């Protein structure tokens, strides 16, 4: 049976780049736009660009939160959250002072301004990841690999067990996490060339 990846379309994702990347690596995909679409997929990608509070409102208005919880928490379908999609998995965000999906304990916080002019907000451009623990998501991806970032907020958790990557920008922050079937990356693998290709392949092959 052919695997199908579902990309959640709730009006706030950079869908074109993600779908193009999935096409490059040769995987079948559909856009998830209704609750019923979750039944048609084996794995899920939750993208996101923009405001946390607006994203949660969009998911709610499209009646996608309950079926998303069922697919991930009950049916245990693997999910990859990208940038804002990763942050939505948290408990709470300072951006809009909104509760998230609550899958991963932790909160989303805004970068504090630095007097060092090298550090501008948003954090935008290429940066290295430090791999904190082994994961199938990072098979054949080297420690120190570069990924592309665009964000003003970052995820913070007291549970070091979920931390897959860290990245330094102003200070060290969690740039990828894993908990059971739930994966999140703060950077954009769809814009990260070979390292991004490999990460998508690894997710497909979980």
List residues with catalytic annotation: 83, 188, 190
CB atoms within 10 A of CB 96: 15
Q: Which residue has the tokens 């994966």?
A: 183
Q: Which residues pair with 123 in a beta bridge?
A: 151
Tokens read off for 13: 């994702």
Are 100 and 91 in contact by the 8 Å Cβ rule? The answer is yes
Residue 105 sits at φ, ψ, to 5 deg, of -70, 125
Half-sphere exposure of 108 (CA within 13 A, CB side): 30
């Amino acid at each position: 049976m052919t695997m199908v990846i579902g990309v959640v379309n709730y009006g706030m994702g950079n869908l074109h780049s993600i779908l193009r990347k999935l096409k490059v690596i040769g995987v079948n995909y559909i856009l998830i736009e209704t609750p019923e679409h979750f039944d048609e997929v084996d794995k899920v990608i939750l993208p996101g660009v923009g405001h946390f509070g607006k994203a949660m409102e969009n998911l709610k208005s499209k009646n996608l939160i309950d079926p998303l919880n069922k697919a991930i928490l009950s049916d245990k379908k693997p999910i990859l959250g990208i940038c804002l999609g990763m942050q939505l998995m948290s408990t709470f965000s300072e951006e809009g002072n909104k509760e998230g999906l609550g899958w991963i304990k932790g909160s989303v916080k805004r970068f504090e301004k630095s007097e060092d002019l090298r550090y501008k907000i948003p954090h935008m451009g290429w940066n290295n990841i430090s791999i904190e623990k082994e994961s199938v998501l990072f098979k054949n991806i080297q420690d120190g690999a570069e990924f592309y970032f665009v964000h003003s907020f970052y995820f913070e958790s007291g549970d070091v067990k979920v931390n897959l990557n860290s990245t330094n920008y102003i200070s060290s922050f969690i740039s990828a996490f894993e908990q059971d079937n739930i994966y999140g990356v703060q950077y954009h693998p769809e814009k990260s060339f070979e390292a991004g290709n490999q990460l998508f392949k690894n997710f497909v092959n979980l």
